Each structure stands twice: as structure tokens, then as C-alpha cells.
A and B are shown apart, each in its own frame.
Chain A
Amino acid sequence: DAGVIQSPRHEVTEMGQEVTLRCKPISGHDYLFWYRQTMMRGLELLIYFNNNVPIDDSGMPEDRFSAKMPNASFSTLKIQPSEPRDSAVYFCASSLIAPPHSYEQYFGPGTRLTVT
């Protein structure tokens, strides 16, 4: 398995532009997570899905952020309009719930977003 795939790996955009980050989870995984990592705040959960349905989006910073999961093999995180403070590394992770023994999440390589 190729693991969790994210694209692009790097994104540089100007303030006010729309940014779309993409994720392909590991095949067969039921859960998909979007995280943001910054030096200021560390690793933060933004939103997660179970069977393509958003379960908890309380970590989404504001209405400029939106996430979708149209099918089991694809998810997007969109920022519109982008701002310099959105600059961070965005990780996607997936997991196969196997209660009660493991809640391991598999992370993608991340997308480094720079908003100028």
C-alpha cells in the first residue's frame, strides 16, 4: 500500500487566493483526519470523517476553512480566502477503527502551505 497520499506537497499562494489541499486515505480505512501543524500551536485536529461523513469540525478555525469527503478514497480541505496566518503544514491521516485494541492513525507526508 502506498500509504496516505497528499497533494500538493508544497503550495505557495498569495493572500486572498483559494487553496485546495487533497488527500487519498489508505484503502479500507474508515476514518479520515485533517490536522494543521505550526510552531505556535503544534499539531491541531481540524476535522475528521467517519465513512465519508464529517463527525467533528470543532477544530476548523473559521468559515474560511471547509472540508469535504465525496467518497471513501478522496478528501479536500479548502481555504478561501487564504491569509498569511494560514501558513502551516497540513496533514491528512486515516485509520481503520478496530476497537477496542487500536486507534492508530496513519499520517500522510503533509502539504506545506505558505501564504504571502
Chain B
Amino acid sequence: GESVGLHLPTLSVQEGDNSIINCAYSNSASDYFIWYKQESGKGPQFIIDIRSNMDKRQGQRVTVLLNKTVKHLSLQIAATQPGDSAVYFCAEAPFDQTGANNLFFGTGTRLTVIP
């Protein structure tokens, strides 16, 4: 029979435009959030992270925004390039006094950059 898989949200943007990828998390106790990028045939690659005591953090061409009130995380990519085409995952980690760093990954969003 037909297999049913995850239906990844998709986002298509024109090269040079800004991209915004959204993520909702469920655990209000999560203390740490991270974005990963996964290109086809490769493992996830770290992009940027943010702790729960912050609401914004900037990197090179990327910005992560955290809204704890509505448990929402977003990744903004400025001047999107063809090389940005990939699946983007958000991940969260609850605070753990033992120091364990177990990450819980979302289902991902597929970003396609149109040249």
C-alpha cells in the first residue's frame, strides 16, 4: 500500500529574499533551543542556538527569535542563497541539573531557493 510519511512544511523563496522558518515547541520547561540545517545526503549541521533567557540572537546572515509566551521559535535567513536550500530542524532541550543534553528534534521545514 501507499506509505504515509511526514509531510514536511515547505518554503520556497527567491534568491536574495529573506526567509523565515517557524517552529512551535511544546515543553515550557525547555531551556535551550537550536537550529540545524540538513542538506540532501548529509547529517544535520549546527546553525545557531539560543537560551531561554534570551529572545534574539544573531549570527552570520541568520537570526533566531524566541517567544516563550507562545512557545514559538523562528529562524530568519537574510539574502537567501541557493546553498541555503535544505531541510531545517529546530530542537529543544529541557533544563537538566545533571548536565545531560538530550535534544528533541522537530519534523523540519524544507527550504527551496529559486535562482
Which residues from chain A sit less than 8 Å from chain B, CB to CB? 4, 31, 38-43, 45, 48, 50, 55-56, 91, 93, 95, 97, 99-110
Cβ of A50: which chain B residues have Cβ within 8 Å of it? 100
CB neighbours of B67 from chain A (8 A):
none
Contact B6 A43 (CB under 8 A): no
Q: Jot down 21 A-B pairs with beta carbons below 8 A, ordered by A.
A: A4-B43, A40-B4, A40-B6, A43-B44, A43-B105, A48-B102, A56-B102, A99-B99, A100-B51, A101-B51, A103-B93, A103-B103, A104-B49, A105-B101, A105-B103, A106-B46, A107-B36, A107-B45, A108-B43, A109-B42, A109-B43
> For the complex, is B107 an interface residue (Cβ under 8 Å from A)?
yes
Residues of B within 8 A of A (CB): 3-6, 32, 34, 36, 42-46, 49, 51, 89, 93, 99-108
Given contacts A103-B32, A103-B93, A107-B43, contact A39 B102 (CB under 8 A): no
What are the residues of chain A within 8 A of B34 when measuring CB–CB? 103-104
| Minimum Cβ distance to chain B for residue A29 (Å) | 11
Chain A CB within 10 A, most for which of B4, B5, B43? B43
Task: Flag if B99 contacts A97 (CB, 8 Å).
Answer: yes
User: In the bound complex, what is the Cα–Cα distance between A55 and B89 (angstroms)?
Assistant: 24
B47 to A: closest C-beta gap in Å:
10
Which A residues are in CB contact (< 8 Å) with B100? Answer: 50, 55-56
Distance, CA A85 to CA B89, complexed state (A): 24
Taking CB atoms, residues of chain A closer than 8 Å to B108 are 42-43
Name, among B3, B32, B93, B106, the residue most crowded by chain A CB atoms within 10 Å (CB to CB). Answer: B32
